Structure 1
Amino acid sequence: MTTDVAMGRHATAGWLDDRARDCADRPAVEILGAPSLSWAELREAVIRLADVLRGRGLRPGDRVSMRMRRSTDSVIGLLAIWRRGGVPLLLDDGSPPDWIARRERAAGVRWVFSADSGGLRRADARTLGNSAHHGAPQDDRSSLSHILCTSGTQAEPLAIGTSCQQLDEQMLAYVERFAPDPGDRIALFSGLAHDPVIRDLGAALLSGATIVVPPEDVFSVPRRAGRFLGERRISLLHCTPGTLSLADPLRLADTWRDLRLVLCGGSALPAGLAAAVLPAPAVELVNVYGVSEVPQIASAHVVTEADIAGPPERSVSIGRGFGTRALELLKNVDTPDGQLEVVILTPSVGRELGDRAGEASTSLSPSTSTGPVRFRTGDLAVRSEDGSVRIVGRRDDVLDVNGDRVSRAEVRDAAVGIDGVHEAKLVVGVDGATELLAVLSPDANVAEIRRHLGRLLPPAAVPRRIVEVDRRTIDRNRKKAIPHDRT
């Protein structure tokens, strides 16, 4: 058996080797109802699969559609692709086929990997045309680590590549600040098509902590996610406000006795939701901020009692920066009074790929050749008295929902195309969950409307709740809406 490491291109191979040596018999991956894998066993499984991938023709630098599920096989698959030198495009395998195909096309993938359907296969040329990338890695440190797609739900996706150097630097900054250790248990709760899932794995690889894989339906039953955190003794959690809301901290936070650190990001964190988490016995709640174009964490803020003293719908501060990154606020002529656009000062941004490459460069403000890059995020904020930054909205018609950019217009258009829906508007409730305020016919079936939206929209764009409102209040502030019984 060969170890088949694309040496120097990706630090995760070395991190895995280190953990298999110094934490050999400690659990690396746990999943309910299946034997756990030790770090030594995980390394052996990754090496075996990397050999298979090489035999199938995967070359260093090849882009691979990584259709992720919450499973041990997906963990092994991602690490094996990295070990072989491949560049995974992170996707949620449960997303609609057209949503997946558009992102594969944008990233120019050559291969598709799905742990649940036989492993690696060549991408469909009829779907991807002539855009597939054929290896040819650059120098080791600037080679791509992985690819994410951003665009919202409506526009064609923009593929953003993170370099190995960017990932290595960010994960080392994470470890220095948050100090994960071999005794930690990390829940694999992060969105499977987003940067934080890399944080879940990277934190474990650098520390020897255990990755605890939840069941596929952990988010489908009320409070199941919250019970999972307590019963499986989770100590470290990366999640979105929506995921945290599903865990029902108001009822269950006092059962999270092992939980010491929660990093919450992907959309604005309401003060009311943060207040429900802080009673957990030993938790440090950190509100983190970032965008796909600037990998991992751009800013972080430890939530305090002062943050939750205001109205429950008020968003918590995102801080002033993180590591080598800092935040600035920019006044634009088209922003409301008192609101400023968030600008991230960063040593580098992700690499734009595919046919839309160059579009996000319009978000880059001029900077000196030796100074940081200034990336304009489109997020609107106000500055608190202590100098920290609090998100209050967007410059465009987009909502940040659990790390996804969701077009309000697309959701509205999909909803009003359904029989029984006359008008609709997507908003965010005080608990961070999305709500569709809708004017409905008397015979409309709310459950059927939501199922229909699930067939039309990617998961992040499907409203958590549908609230019937009076036609006269559809365009007013959320607090003035008149809810009816059907929700």
Structure 2
Amino acid sequence: METPPDAEHRLDTALLARWEAHPERVAVLDGDETVLAGEVRDRAVRIAALLRDRGVRPGDRVAVLLERSADFVIAVAAVVLAGGAHVAIDTGNPAERVDFLLRDCAPRLLLTSAALRAGLPEDLGTQVLTVQECADADGPAGFRPADALADRPAVVIYTSGSTGRPKGSLLSHRGITARLRSLQNSHPIDENDRVLHHTACTFDMFLVEVYWPLLHGAPIVVAAPGRQRDPAHLARLIRDREVTTVWWVVSLLELFLLALAPGERVDGLRQVLTGGEALAPELVRRFHERSGATLSNLYGPSECTMYCTAWVCPRDSGLRTVMIGPAIEDTVLWIVDEHGRPVPEGQPGELYIGGVGVSLGYHDRPELTAERFVADTLGGTGGRLYRSGDLVRAHPSGELEYLGRVDRQVKIRGFRIEPGEIEGTALRVPGVRQAAVVADGTGSATRLVCFVVLDTGDGPARAAERIRTELAARLPAHLVPAAIVPLERFPLTPNGKLDHGRLTALAADAVPVTAGTDRDPAADPAADAAGHEEGADGPAAAGMEALVAEVWGKVLGIPAVGPLDDFYALGGDSFRAVRVVRELEERTGLQVPMYLVLEASGVAEFAEAVTEYAK
């Protein structure tokens, strides 16, 4: 293979070099499937050659719609080998969201499975290649890396958009390889390590879980699709597969610790990376009580390629402030005031980020790119700075403290959420005249509440249920509000602007609509036909249903929960699922695995699942 002159800053050549040096080493562990590095290479090269045959050229976008699996790992690597930029699409997205992403990124091709292809419309407007077709194809006679890829995009990551339209950040080969090189220098891994891959492909840190181990010979341990927030499944994988290295968004780290049995430790881990949300000192202490692994707090928006600061949390029981750390290598940070001027040392200001990791901008969004990526007039480098919107303060040690946002953006379970995107979607629902979204709560208890002013004459409960149903059909789950609250009019400040402070205060009392509290029974005759009144399987089932409804109401703070209600539609999440499981175990003496809440989220079906599991 001829080595391109820019090979040092390219993901494709680095991957090929690693696979060719050690083809016999295990690269991916996916359930019962073990894939060696040489097999990853052969399968990825075969797909890459087919992508080129189908017209993929350097810089072209290729959408990847696959469940988390060895196939997914190989597919995204294949797009990079072909010279394209992969746009990984979460298979859990609603059909409307998938359609938007495919239209917006305008891919040269969609790479998916035969099963998922069957669920897509025929008029996609892009050609489709399935992994089954790739497996049946002959391998290429030879394969040569594309020319001049270092400063072309390798990945497109979509994040929530303040204008109501998600935006795709273009991450270059140079930026990704620099970030992974920095991570390896500070947190080295090798063939003796194993890295857990569980992060959703909508979050850029999945790149760390895939490319970092592939480049350094550590096997990737793949979490089962849909189980990425099931702490019991993750704990079992860590133990049985001898995982040493994990990235967890802060909320999932907290969830994992909450689910551990009293006194249970996690000492097989060697290092844990976390970030995506503010990390509390108390959570650091709880982690160190349960594990001898190091805990590192990483910070950085997708626009700066995965992360740009890092701080190893000290084992200090008196820790009072968790830092996000100093800049990593090849990174420049500035803290500026509202006029873009550096603030005095120790004063808070907005963080501007520069260096090799700054992305190429947003796909097909020149105005937004010009707004967020500005010329570096501070350091005289001639490069660009990304305006993060994050408020920070530098300490005398040079480490940064995260203080919050300078705009309305919020973080929930690590996802960046722009309320404007949800508001824009709500305004497309018939009958909605005005919409405003606020965040309620802090930490793992944070939830979204959407206030609306209606044109229709629906009752408040019916309207709220209808609006939430439509939002769930159009938005990813993390963007769907926990509660919809109709108001006659929105509160205004003295100068006539929307009073977000008043809405935030009202959000604390917002209760999700339940199927059992304000619904006309005639509107759902299937409920009676299914025998929900007395329980489909007799008194025992009815008793379990009643108990489940009572426990859900207690945990979710809802006065009445009916048999048709769904745990997640009522605002439930993984944290509350742990509380539900613990409460049921205390009340019944049964062992209730958490995955039952994930797989059977309706009151009646969950009660039936618990009853069946106990037999």
Please indicate the TM-score interval, normalised by the length of the shorter structure: 0.7 to 0.9
**Alpha carbons of structure 1 residues 317 and 127: separation in structure 2 relative to 1, 3 Å:** farther
| Alpha-carbon distance in structure 2 between the residues aligned to 1:223 and 1:449 | 34
Residue 239 (structure 2) aligns with? 230
- C-alpha displacement of 1:309: 3.4
1:457 to 450, 454, 475: 475
Q: Distance in 1 between matches of 2:30 and 2:207?
A: 18
Which residue does the alignment assign to 1:112? 110
Higher strand share: 1
Identity score, percent: 23
Partner of 1:45: 43
CA contact (8 A) 2:354 2:384 kept: yes
**For residue 255 of structure 2, what is the aligned residue in structure 1?**
246
Query: Separation in 2 of the partners of 1:436 and 1:466?
Result: 7
How far off is 1:21 after superposition?
Answer: 4.1
How far apart are 1:215 and its partner, in Å?
0.8
Give distance in 1, aligned partners of 2:438 and 2:213: 41
Give the structure 2 partner of residue 133 of structure 1.
none
Equivalence map 1:147-226=2 (5 Å): 147-152=156-161, 155-219=164-228, 221=230, 223-226=232-235
How big is the shift at 1:67?
2.2
Question: Which of the pair is proportionally richer in helix?
Answer: 2
**Is 1:427 equivalent to 2:440 in the alignment?**
yes
Deviations 1:161-187 (A, max 9, x none): 222222222221221111111011111
User: What is the CA distance between 1:413 and its match in structure 2?
Assistant: 8.1
C-alpha contact (below 8 Å) 2:164/2:421 kept by paired residues: no
The answer to whether the 8 Å contact 2:12/2:80 transfers is: yes
Cα 1:331–1:225 change in 2 (3 A) is: same
Which residue number corresponds to residue 378 of structure 1? 389
Residue segments in structure 1 that go unaligned for 5+ positions in a row: 129-136
Q: What is the deviation of 1:347? A: 3.9
- TM-score, normalised to structure 2's length? 0.64
- The number of equivalent residue pairs is 463
Superimposed CA distance per residue, residues 349-373 of structure 1 (whole angstroms, 9 cap, x where no aligned partner)? 2113543124233232542553653
Tell me the secondary structure at the aligned position of residue 308 of structure 2.
Answer: strand
Label 1:140 to 1:53 Cα distance change in 2 as closer, same or farther (>3 A).
closer
Partner of 2:330: 324
The unaligned stretches of length 5 or more in structure 2 are: 127-145, 341-345, 452-458, 486-490, 492-500, 512-554, 559-571, 573-615
Q: Which amino acid aligns with 2:476?
A: P
Kindly indicate whether structure 1 or structure 2 has the higher relative contact order, using CA contacts under 8 Å at least 6 residues apart.
Answer: 1
Q: Which range moves more in the overlay, 410-419 or 261-270?
A: 410-419
Equivalent-residue separation in structure 2 for 1:450 and 1:283 (angstroms): 42
1:132 maps to none
Q: Residue 296 of structure 1 aligns to a residue in which SS?
A: coil
Comparing 259-268 and 44-53, the one that deviates more? 44-53
Secondary structure at 1:248's aligned position in 2? helix
The alpha-carbon deviation at position 256 of structure 1 amounts to 2.1
How large is the RMSD of aligned CA atoms in angstroms?
Answer: 4.3
The worse-fitting range, judged by mean Cα deviation, of 228-237 and 195-204 is: 228-237
CA deviation map 1:93-127 (0-9, x unaligned): 2212332333333333221111454789x999876
Q: Hey, what's the Cα distance between the residues in 1 that align with 2:173 and 2:243?
A: 29
Which residue of 557, 563, 568 maps to 1:485? 557
1:127–1:426: structure 2 CA closer, same or farther, 3 Å change rule?
farther
Instruction: Say which SS state the counterpart of residue 390 (structure 1) adopts.
Output: strand
Quote the Cα distance in structure 1 between the aligned partners of 2:176 and 2:397: 31
**Whose Rg is larger?**
2
1:397 paired residue number: 408
Aligned to 2:13: 14
**Partners of 2:410 and 2:16 in 1: how far apart?**
41
Q: Which amino acid aligns with 2:285?
A: A
Query: Residue 222 and residue 302 in structure 1: after superposition, are their counterparts in 2 closer, same or farther (change >3 A)?
Result: closer
Matched, 1:74 2:72: yes
Judge conservation of contact 1:158–1:352 (CA < 8 Å) in 2: no
Deviation at 1:306, TM superposition (A): 4.9
Check the 8 A contact 1:317/1:389 in 2, yes or no.
yes
Query: Aligned to 1:140, what secondary structure does the other structure show?
Result: coil
Match of 2:291 among 245, 265, 281: 281
| Letter matched to residue 358 of structure 2 | V
C-alpha distance in structure 2 between counterparts of 1:306 and 1:485, whole Å: 36
TM-score normalized by the length of structure 1? 0.79
Asked whether the equivalents of residues 344 and 375 of structure 1 are also in contact (C-alpha less than 8 Å), the reply is: yes
Shift of 1:329: 1.7
Alignment of 1:51-66 (within 5 A): 51-66=49-64
Distance in 2 separating the partners of 1:27 and 1:85: 25
